Amino acid sequence: MEIEKTAKKDEESDIDYIEKTIGAFGWWQAKVCILASLTRFLAMWNMLNIMFLTYDNSFTCIRFNGTQPVTVTPTTCYENCIKYDFEFEEGLFLKGFVEEFGLICDRAWMASFAQTILMFGLLFGVSLFGWISDRFGRSKAIFYSAFLVVVFMLGSCFAPDYWTFCGLRFLTGIATGGQMIVAVVLVLEVVGAKYREVTGACISLPDGIAEATLVVFAHFAPTWRVYLLSICTVSALLMILQIFLPESPRWLMSRGQGEKARTIMMKAVVW
């Protein structure tokens, strides 16, 4: 019992030492919070791009096997319609995701499954990158998850078939899990206890901005592939900025890397 009390006291003294050295909140913490908040753009773009990827598009069967109805009603699945022989009305894109892979009628469920598979990946990725951040560091987990997001998203832009796209989307979801959760931990570790509640809430503010910017990507993209490629390009730029994210001094202290922690804290003091 005495040993536990001593260990807890030592841990609290380390935390107090870090906060007293670099302050509860200053320019250095503000820089970390801004850079960390950029990770939310990558996460939200991947989670919400399905809104424009699988938009409703009117289609009409143009060839029938046997008797053709007198009046062909748009967006109606006829049993004797020749499979995949449909004419799509021009929508948001010149050629959409649903149109290219024929995700209508008995395949309509596959459009929403593309989002389901990403969310399964996200669920797995949150746990995986949580462990990676504890084992190898917060900043490394954030950067490498961003790198994998860009790689897998780029691959999905050129997916030759639906199931390849879903496989890459699952991997993108795993990588997105790192962008979703680790940055929050980093921010809460670099600010003082007094400001953790506020900064924890503020780091989620870019979520709405990210959702709004999807409209811009979709408006100027001629096809769904260009739509995802444009998001991937901007994500790559944000990934580069994450190189400048410093490691958490608290994590370094917990791993016995006091010298590295002091070096980072000295830079924070200069700010």
Least Cα distance to 52 among 3, 12, 96, 14 occurs for 96
pLDDT category of residue 69 using cuts at 50, 70 and 90: low
Give the mean model confidence (pLDDT) for residues 149-164: 94
Q: Look at residue 119 and tell me if it is in a domain.
A: yes
- Average pLDDT on 132-144 reads 92
Contacts of 122 (CB under 8 A, 6+ apart): 47, 173, 174, 176, 177, 180
Percent of the chain residues topping a pLDDT of 90: 36
Whether residue 51 sits in one domain with residue 62: no
User: Is 5 inside any structural domain?
Assistant: no
Q: Which domain holds residue 263?
A: 22-55+104-270
Sign of CA dihedral 214, 123, 147, 226: negative
Q: What average pLDDT score do residues 69-89 get?
A: 70
- 76 with 189, same domain: the answer is no
Q: Is residue 4 part of a domain?
A: no
Cα–Cα distance, 265 to 15 (Å, whole number):
12
Residue 250 falls inside a structural domain:
yes
Report which of residues 117 and 268 the model is more confident about: 117
Q: Does a structural domain hold residue 255?
A: yes
More confident residue, 269 or 222: 222
**Structure token digits, residue 127:** 């746990």
Least confident of 12-26, 150-164, 172-186: 12-26
Q: Residues 64, 155: one domain?
A: no
Report the distance separating Cα 250 and Cα 188, nearest Å. 10
Q: Does 111 reside within a domain?
A: yes
Question: Tens digit of pLDDT for each residue in 204-245?
Answer: 888 889 989 999 999 899 989 999 999 999 999 999 999 899
Cα distance from N-terminal residue to C-terminal residue, the chain: 41
112: pLDDT strictly greater than 50: yes
pLDDT band at 85 (very low <50, low <70, confident <90, very high): low
Mean pLDDT, the chain, integer: 84
Tally the domains of the chain.
2
Residues 72 and 185 in one domain: no
CA distance 47 to 32: 24
The closest alpha carbon to 144, from 184, 190, 177, 191, belongs to: 177
The per-residue b/e assignment along 233-262, b for 16 or more CB within 10 angstroms, e otherwise, is eebbebbeebeebbbbbbbbbeeebeebbb
Residue 169 sits in the same domain as residue 187: yes
Name the token pair of 161: 């078939």
Cβ neighbours for 100, distance < 8 A, ≥ 6 positions apart: 224
Q: In whole angstroms, what is the distance from residue 130 CA to residue 111 CA?
A: 30
CA 254/CA 252 separation, integer angstroms: 5
Co-location of 151 and 126 in the same domain: yes
Q: Among 66-75, 98-107, 199-208, which is the least confidently predicted range?
A: 66-75
pLDDT at 5 over 50: no
pLDDT given at position 6: 44
Tokens 């691959």 appear where? 155
pLDDT at residue 119 above 80? Answer: yes
Q: Which residues contact 111 (CB under 8 A, 6 or more apart)?
A: 54, 97, 98, 103
Rounded-to-integer distance, Cα 132 and Cα 146, Å = 14
Whether the pLDDT of residue 137 is over 50: the answer is yes
**Single-letter amino acid code for the residue at 136:** F
The predicted model scores a pTM of 0.84
